[in-house]
Amino acid sequence: MLNVYNQLKEKVFATEEYNNANVIFEINKLQVLSFEIPKWHLKYFELEGYIETKEQNFVIKEIAERSDCYEVTCFQDVEVFQTFHKQKTYATKSVDFMLNDLLPSGWQLINKADARKRTVTGNDIDGYELIQKIVKTFEVEIIFDNKKKTLTVGNELMQDLGTYFTKELNLQEIFLTSESHELITRIIPIGNDNLGIESVNNGKNYIENTTNSKKIKTLYWEDNRYTNVQSLFEDAQKKLDQLSKFKRTYETKVIDLSKTLQYKFLKADIGDLVYLINSDTKTKEKFRITKLKKFINDTLKNEITLGNKIDDLVTDEQKLKQVFSENWEKTKVFFDVTDKNIKGIVDKQQLTDNNLERLKSTIEQTEEKIIQNVNNSVDKRVSQLKIGARNLLKNSASIDKIKWQKWSATDIEYSQIENNDEWISFESIKFLDVDTQITSKVRGYYSLNDFKVDDNKKYTLSLDFLNLSGFDINVVIDKAKTDKKASVKALQNTRIAITFDKKDFDELIIGIETELNQNPIFAVKNIKIEEGTIATSWTPAIEDLEKIDKQLNDAVEFLSSDNKDLLKKYDGLNLENAKIRKELNTALKQTRDEFLFQFNNYKQLLDETGRVVEQRFNDFSRYIRFKNGNIELGDINSPFKALLTHEKISFLKADAEVAYLSKNKLYITDAYIINSLRIGNFEFVVQENGNLSFRKAVD
């Protein structure tokens, strides 16, 4: 049954009168539905209308006239993702963080990808195009399901269920294409600063794989991202494993027997691994399904394309551009404290006639380096400047939860925030129930009573606010005087600002205002109070920066004294050298209107060290992983693992629980006991003649 809707999503027709209905599946592409309809049904179908099948919803994209019918072609409906974004930047974020941020309301992300972090930027782009850009950057695979409202992402979305194709059973036709256009048998990998692999490859600067061809076809592969020789060697090996294969593609017609009870184990889907059995040559080869054409009403016509070599989503040239782009985005983020204080805090339209210090910042990007130039100029006229920039609150990055107080609520709950990289180390706050003696809509508040306000000055309070409730929340600055407020939409993550002076409050607070029958859940961080009427980006108080400066110096001292072996692996990173130590400094500049915090070479130092730590962590996490507060043990590539939780210890095979320990008891799905089974003082024992005896145990 096909349900037909017009562009307004109003149902206009339902029909079973169609022919050759099929859906084409390809990795990382939208499903394509096509079918033929009688000419007298054309009036019900319009371009940009909608088709609903049992599995998915589609958008009509093409209607082509044939001699005796019309052929309709539709694409999987992902219009809900096509929200326009003027500018979107994710600086060093994981794929699940990015995709969760782009998920429409009501959709769920199923994340099977690793925790790698990358930088992705989109300008004048819709959400679906940005998702495609994210997929290419991370080299992952995605599947949309607009019926279940799920978006699944993983490094490789596939299963190996042991499904096989053979002419004697389910294989009707098979056509083979083989080619060696991209064959490479030797790679010479070069990393950052001319790093080679000789130290881990018996003195050779290349690796070879001549399994398929004895010809030497060399690729000189240079990638400046690599500073760790072992990572360079391993990734070059993986690349050679792919490039040294002949590319073989099979186009097949397969009878889908998985619908029958007898052969339901032969089920296969897009991306899955299957086995092609040749009874003549007695061989069995493993392939991946790269394209699948399913006929809705006739599975005997299904067509499957198999490949032994998956094309890369991103070429080396694109990767180099990607790396340069990532470095540029990171640098821009690094300059944000400086650049935003210089440029972002000045409203040029309102302050043209005022006397202020104008700071012009330009960032020049070249092939070799990134340069920032700052030029100062001072107006001749003098007037009052209404911009602050200096944070007057100490320790404002995180919240001291003991300062949260109930007002019309009677209870407070705290919960650790999960599934949100930006807030992962913070706790959410929830105000519960109603104190009938208090009619105020202010459910609770965070006291800022320690902050001293001058009588004749204006201030701006700004903060990051995460609304985890299904309703809007107002943020106020006083329990009674609630005219000054900022509203945060349901489930919104944003930064808000409120301008005030001394007459606007009796007791300065961050108050949470909702209806009395609502129990708000939220989180707050990066509070800033500054003089003036314009909010600027959060920065620490000067007193906090002095602490940070000391901590950074301590970190450098620790690295230089306790990690000499590690530092020797990196040319130019010898912290015992007096000249380099002199260059590693932190400069703090305080002006009337702003402060500049310059890391200089700290960032380079910490980035380089972080790569090594990340590599060590990756080695460690291959065998031990932390998932949702639990511990998983076992090689990440092995089907056999153990999962330690607060309630039990589970033993898994291919993610299915086969046994577990809980409350002093062992539970086993299927047990095969070789010799004997003891219960208390009694035991079952297999005798030599094969019989089973039950007797009292003898120690």
Residue 513 lies in a domain: yes
Tally of domains in the chain: 7
Q: Which residues of 220-242 are buried (b: 16+ CB within 10 A; e: fewer)?
A: ebebebbbbbebbbebbeebbeb
Answer whether residue 586 shows pLDDT above 60.
Answer: no
The structure tokens 């998920």 sit at: 103
Q: What percent of the chain has pLDDT over 90?
A: 33
Domain containing 438 — which CATH number? 2.60.120.260
By DSSP bridging, strand 2-5 and strand 11-15 are antiparallel
> Is 443 in the same domain as 459?
yes
Residue 322 lies in a domain: no
> Is 104 in the same domain as 72?
no
> Is 190 in the same domain as 53?
no
Per-residue confidence (pLDDT) for residue 189, from 0 to 100: 93
What DSSP string describes 20-57?
EEEEEEETTS--EEEEEE-GGGGGG--TT-EEE-SS-E
Answer whether residue 278 shows pLDDT above 90.
Answer: no
> How far is the C-alpha of 288 from the C-alpha of 273, rounded, in Å?
4
DSSP 367: S
Average pLDDT (479-493) is 91
Secondary structure class of 515 (helix, strand, coil): coil
Answer whether residue 664 shows pLDDT above 90.
Answer: no
Instruction: For residue range 141-198, list pLDDT tens digits in order.
Output: 999 999 999 999 999 888 877 777 776 666 666 666 777 777 889 999 998 888 999 9
Domain holding 47, by residue range, is 2-77
Per-residue confidence (pLDDT) for residue 466, from 0 to 100: 94
Residue 680 lies in a domain: no
> Is 426 in the same domain as 492?
yes
Among 584, 619, 654, the domain boundary falls at: 619
By DSSP bridging, strand 656-662 and strand 649-653 are antiparallel
Q: Are 294 and 22 in contact (CB under 8 A)?
A: yes
> Is 511 in the same domain as 550?
no
Residue 361 lies in a domain: no
Residue 488 lies in a domain: yes
Residue 278 lies in a domain: yes
Instruction: For residue range 318-365, list pLDDT tens digits in order.
Output: 444 444 444 444 444 444 433 444 344 333 334 333 333 444 444 444
> Is 69 in the same domain as 144?
no
| Amino acid identity for residue 63 in this structure | I
> Is 453 in the same domain as 597?
no
Q: What angle do CA 310, 316, 320 make, to 5 degrees?
A: 140
Quote the mean pLDDT of the chain.
Answer: 77
Better-predicted residue by pLDDT, 666 or 381: 666
> Is 281 in the same domain as 295?
yes
Cα Rg of the chain, angstroms: 32
> Is 412 in the same domain as 491?
yes
Tokens of 335: 């300059």
Per-residue confidence (pLDDT) for residue 501, from 0 to 100: 92
